[in-house]
Structure formats: structure tokens, C-alpha cells
Amino acid sequence: MNSDQQTHLVKSLAAELGFSYCGISRAEFLEDEAPKLEEWLKRGYAGKMSYLENYFDKRLDPTLLVPGAKSVISLMYNYYPEKDLATPDNLNIAKYAYGEDYHFVVKDKLKTLFEKLQEQVGQVEGRVFVDSAPVMERAWAKRAGLGWVGKNSLLLNKHSGSFFFLAEIIVDLELVYDGPIKDYCGTCTACMDACPTDAIPEPYVVDGSKCISYFTIELKEEIPAEVKGKFGNWIFGCDICQDVCPWNRFSKPHQEPRFNPNDSLQSMTQNEWKEITTEVFQKVFKNSPVKRTRLEGLKRNIRFVTE
């Protein structure tokens, strides 16, 4: 198989497995990203997420993750739900957390793709990544033409908006490379204007330490009093900057049964949230991303927005 045929194989396997888009870029040092990442960390925008300072070199150089790497395959997997469960009179969680944890769902797909690739091409060295290793997924997705990085720092796609997961396979195959597309944000500042905690201080830069998702998921201590009253009803993550983005009017419901919310989650009332027990937590959020906060963290978030 030549590189054209191998590239065609990768993209058709990705489509068969339900990935919305697949793009490929050369595995090389992310020169443009290095100063940006350094500056972002220096400004303290990582908050208490000190792990983002680790493996600085590996974040920028895929050949340190996969020796001999030649290509980064970037993939997009839709999670936009058929029904938005967020309502003004109930407590809300981010759409990505409605169903089973994407780390399991998408990683299963990636492993299958990689195995099928090896079956048809022969010996391929590589690794699969779903947001769990030092890989700058948006930078690679942008290089591979999956979309552009919006002012809220999320990857945007003209046909699908931004409600999707990104994933990568780094391989030692020389493939045919795609190129980046232009930025279509224009003069729009809807995401910046809508953020209640001013977490987007300038276009394309998010202060992670001010983001509602950071406070409700990453922060392990008490939420600072100065942001009291700014979260609306968000108790796990936040979709505000995505919900207001004009490009998300093109989002289409996903076709992944594992991302569907269970009946218990769909029928949770505000009182049930407030009185949540260990038993209910385990039942409703079995295999869910919400387990990351543990029950105590979720209760802390609920108290913060309701008391």
C-alpha cells in the first residue's frame, strides 16, 4: 500500500466507526504553540491544575510520545444530544456528561481503528489518545483541517459547531497530510460576552482558573466566595460559551447510544439533586464523567448554587 492508499484506508475506517471527521498532519514540534503555552502557564491561567505544567516538551513534540512518529491522525466524535437537559429551573450538567464517560467510548473506537489499520497495513507503531495524555489536541485538529480554534479556545467546525470530542492516533506511517482552514469567527464575541465569570479575557485565550468547568470539576477545595451567584445553575461543567456560539446552530444529534442519558438523570428534580445519596449517585452516574467530582464534590457544587 502506498501512502495515498493508507491515508484513504485510515479515513474510511474512521467514517465506518462513526467519527465525524478525520484529518492528518505531520508529526513535528509545535513551534507556534510553545511560546503560547509558556505564556498561558506564566499568567496562572492553569489555576490549581498543576499537571498542565508537566511534560512540557512532550506536549509539543509527538515524537517524544511515539518514537519515530511521522503522522498525527486527528479525529472528531460528536456528542451533541437530541434533547438539551439544561433548563432555567433545574440544576444543570454539561452536555458531554449526559452519558457514559467519553474516555471509554472514544478509546474503544480508537483501539478498533488502530487494530484494523495494523491488520491491513502490517506492522505499525503508534499510540491512541483521548484527552488523557500530554497531547495538544486542538492544535493538531486545527493543523489537520478539522476546524479552527475559536475565541473560546474550543475547536469550531463550520458544519458541526463544537459539541464533539477530539482524539488522536500518533503513528510511524508516512501519510498524506491535510492543511489548516481559515478562522470563521470574524468580529463575533458572543462567547466572550456571555461568560458570567469573565473567563475569556481576550480573544482565543481562556483563563482556566476562572472557568465554571474548572470550579465545578477540577478545583478540589471550596469554591471562592467572589464567584458566588455567577454560575447560574451549573453544577458540573458549563456549556454557556458553546450554547451562544452561532456555529452551534449546525450541531446535529449524535448517533452514539452510549452517550444517551439514563432515565434517572432525565427525571432528576432540583430537590432530588439537593438530597442526592451515595446510592443514587452510584446508580445515576455509573461510568459517567460526573464521577470525577465524587459525591462530596458534587454536593459542594449543589450547595454553592442553591444556598
| Residues classed as catalytic | 131
What whole-number distance in Å separates Cα of residue 24 and Cα of residue 75?
9
CA separation (Å) from 105 to 4, 10, 55, 110? 29, 19, 26, 9
CB atoms within 10 A of CB 122: 8
- Whether 284 and 85 have beta carbons less than 8 Å apart is answered as no
What kind and span of H or E run contains 297? helix 294-306
C-alpha cell at 70: 511521522
- Whether 168 and 75 have beta carbons less than 8 Å apart is answered as yes
C-alpha cell at 79: 456528542
C-alpha cell at 46: 492553569
What whole-number distance in Å separates Cα of residue 172 and Cα of residue 168?
13
Which residues are CB-neighbours of 121 under 8 A, at least 6 positions away? 1, 6, 9, 173
- Whether 19 and 110 have beta carbons less than 8 Å apart is answered as no
- Whether 57 and 114 have beta carbons less than 8 Å apart is answered as no
Which residues are CB-neighbours of 154 under 8 A, at least 6 positions away? 138, 162, 241, 242
Query: Cα angle vertex 190, ends 241, 168, to 5°?
Result: 45
Closest CA relative to residue 87, chosen from 251, 276, 243: 243
Closest CA relative to residue 278, chosen from 300, 294, 289: 294
